[in-house]
Amino acid sequence: MTAACHGPDASVEPTPGTTRIALVGSPNAGKTSVYNQLTGMRARTGNYPGVTVTRTVGTGRYKGPDGIVEFTIEDLPGTYSLHPISPDEQIVADVLNGEMTGITAPESLSVVVDVTVLERSMSLIAQAMSLGKPTMIVLTMIDELATRGGHVDIDAFAAAMGVPVVGVVGSRGKGFDALRRLLAAPQDWPRAPIAPPRDDDEFNAWITSVLDAARYRAPEPDARSARIDRLLLHPIFGTLIFFAVMFLFFQVIFTVAAPLQDLVEQGFGWLGTQAAELIPNSMIAGLVANGIIGGVGAVLVFIPQIMLMFLLLALLEDVGYMSRAAFLVDRVMALTGLEGRAFVAMLSSMACAVPGIMATRTMPSSRDRIATSMAAPLMTCSARLPVYILLIGLLVDNSSRVGPFSTQGIAMFGMYLLGGVSAMLAAGVFKARVLGGELLPFYMEMPPYRFPSPRSVALSLWDSTRAFLQRAGTIILATSIVLWFLLNLPTRTAEIAGMSEADAAAHVLDNSIAASIGKFLAPIFEPLGFDWRIVVGLIGAMAAREVFISTMGQIFAAVDPENPTLLLTSAAWTSGPHQGELLFNTPTIVALLIFFAYALLCMSTVATIRRETNSWRWPAIAWTYMIVLAWVGAFLARQLTLALTG
């Protein structure tokens, strides 16, 4: 689920002079663990030309008697067959057959197979070998096979198949020296094409003969997983446990990360102060202190919460719970006319809507893909998290409790629940009223519960955190710099002569280009309780939602560099019928939360919908209905809050 939010579209080519080996395997076969063990941090991520399916290429190394040999590994999307029924599987088939525009076919194949379900995987192995490329087989979960009473003679299996076979344990790195040695010399692998069977009976005789030769004995059913599943997959108790897990998830984010956030915030505040004091030119000092450090720092102060969220998601996924969650929610998804794969895509959208929409490629139905893509941006993504933390912090005192639970954590859980319910309702409306189509059956393999590998969790955490930092170092940084100029130009030296520093800063801000734009659009948002400063923040959020935070930080740091957050709580309307009233009052904060929950402000998401649907029609529909929904929802939320608070 962890993927870069806004990875480059350019293809990632292998290191010149190395052989490209493609990893082929079904979902949950352990392919990603094998890839991570082989490449470590030496991976590059991009997209296949013309499609938004993530392409990951890494470099592995083998230290042999003649020195270090490098090889290139390409991690293909998971597939159950090379006879595709979904766009994701079509990509795999096209790459392997050399039919992907701009991508040459890999020279060799490494088929990754979960040995506990070897019989079921023989079809994919046969299809891969029939391509006639040098091929080897990697058997994962060999420790689990032995623990559960199964058996396979790897040497005999290799002899029966006519290709190299190696067994590994991805979580502990067992068997990877032998694997690296094989991958360093794929030219020595035999080509063992398998002739297509004349009928199913002949193919099943073949599978039986190979497994008999390998003395393969399937493992006993995982009794521990079965016992746990009886509870976690129960229609009632399983659902309650799911909500309890998510509830505690957000309690942890607020209670554990808050102290770390304070330290990061103090660090950026100190950096801004030092820049303002040490840089002699006032304009450059303002740009560095408020535009760069203040703008980007206002977002990066939430990095503890972001990292903790990604860590918890990685743990839940690696332990095997997320597959159960998808199966459990499939019952609910059926009410919307969709199936569990739609929930998998929506769950991916909790990191970012871009990979979430990309994940719809695993769905066979084009109508289901569109319906899910129209709804996925409503899921609460990590880009919303800093905005929610700021606004909930303004709305709810951090010491407030409901029993033993943090009220801020409860509010955050409510926002995520709102996003999830809204996404499902939107998907149901699109499927039932706009797209139609029958409900397809949903099949998903339930992996056994496993203790997650610290290395795998660490790599997942790093990949997700790196994507967030890349946004801060590119999109957010660039937008913050542009906004600083818009908030500080034009400079009217004559008009501010003789004013105090605070009055001069307020005068420049109120007469800036950004203020002119914000004031022009303000009448549209005034019924929501938003003044021109909030409107400017919403405009900046079109590049990335987190920019709203940096914009607010810049605006209020311009007036009081020492206490921009404190000034948020006391900021007042500067003109109009609300002049003098508190700006960030309870009704306005509630309206802002609802607006951010529904508005499609992320242009990268719009572009992804365009690429996935190959039409501007659907992104235009998505942007329009979500903006309208955001405005109406925020207006109603404000009016209801006003009525309740008097």
**What letter does residue 519 receive in the DSSP assignment?**
H
| Statement to judge: residues 106 and 193 lie in one domain | yes
Q: How far from chain centre, in Å, is Cα 59?
A: 24
Residues of the chain with pLDDT under 50: 1-11, 42, 45-52
Task: Looking at the structure, tell me whether residues 275 and 406 fall in a common domain.
Answer: yes
Question: Are 292 and 169 in a shared domain?
Answer: no
CA distances from 199 to 82, 107, 203, 212 (A): 18, 30, 6, 20
Diameter of the chain measured on Cα atoms: 94
* Amino acid letter, residue 228: I
In this structure, are 252 and 192 located in the same domain? no
Same domain for 275 and 202: no
- Plot region of 11 (φ>0 → left; ψ -120 to 50 → alpha; else → beta): beta
Q: Do residues 121 and 114 make contact, with C-beta atoms less than 8 angstroms apart?
A: yes
Count of domains observed in the chain:
3
Question: Using an 8 Å Cβ cutoff, are 442 and 254 in contact?
Answer: no
pLDDT for res 437: 60
Last residue of a domain, one of 368, 399, 432: 432
CA dist., res. 233 & res. 35, Å (int): 31
| Domain assignment of residue 385, yes or no | yes
The pLDDT of residue 466: 81
* Sign of the Cα pseudo-torsion (178, 179, 181, 182, in order): positive
Pairing of strands 165-167, 108-114: unpaired
Domain shared by 337 and 251, yes or no: yes
Distance from C-alpha of 525 to C-alpha of 532, rounded to nearest angstrom: 9
3-state secondary structure 524-542: HHHHHCCCHHHHHHHHHCC
| Domain end position, chosen among 193, 220, 247 | 220
**CA–CA–CA angle 547, 390, 461 (5° rounding):** 75
CB-based contacts of 86, cutoff 8 Å, min separation 6: 361, 362, 363, 364
Q: Are 10 and 143 in contact (CB under 8 A)?
A: no
- Whether 443 maps to a domain, the answer reads no
Cis amide leading into 490 (omega within 30): yes
| Domain with 352 in it | 237-432
Distance (Å, rounded) from C-alpha 425 to C-alpha 432?
A: 10
Instruction: Give the 3-state secondary structure of residue 545.
Output: coil
3-state secondary structure of 511: coil
Per DSSP bridges, beta strands 43-47 and 54-64 are antiparallel
271/408 same-domain check: yes
Backbone torsions φ then ψ of 84, nearest 5 degrees: -70, 145
DSSP state of 388: H
**Looking at the structure, do residues 364 and 489 belong to the same domain, yes or no?**
no
Domain boundary among 397, 417, 432: 432
In tens, the pLDDT along 77-127 reads: 888 888 887 777 888 898 898 888 778 889 999 999 999 999 999 999 999
In a domain, 230, yes or no: no
| CA trace torsion 491, 496, 500, 502 (10° rounding) | -40
Asked whether residue 468 is domain-assigned, the answer is no
> What pLDDT score was predicted for residue 564?
54
Q: Is the Cβ–Cβ distance between 471 and 464 less than 8 Å?
A: no
Q: What was the pLDDT predicted at 52?
A: 45
Q: Which helix (H) or strand (E) holds 228?
A: helix 223-232
d(CA 558, CA 551): 11
Which residue in this structure is represented by tokens 């897990």?
245
Task: Flag whether 117 is in a domain.
Answer: yes
- Confirm whether 612 is domain-assigned: yes
Residue type, 242: F
* 213: in domain: yes
Give me the pLDDT at residue 159, please.
92
pLDDT for res 109:
94
Confidence (pLDDT) at 509: 84
Residue 412 lies in a domain: yes
614 and 539 in a single domain? The answer is yes
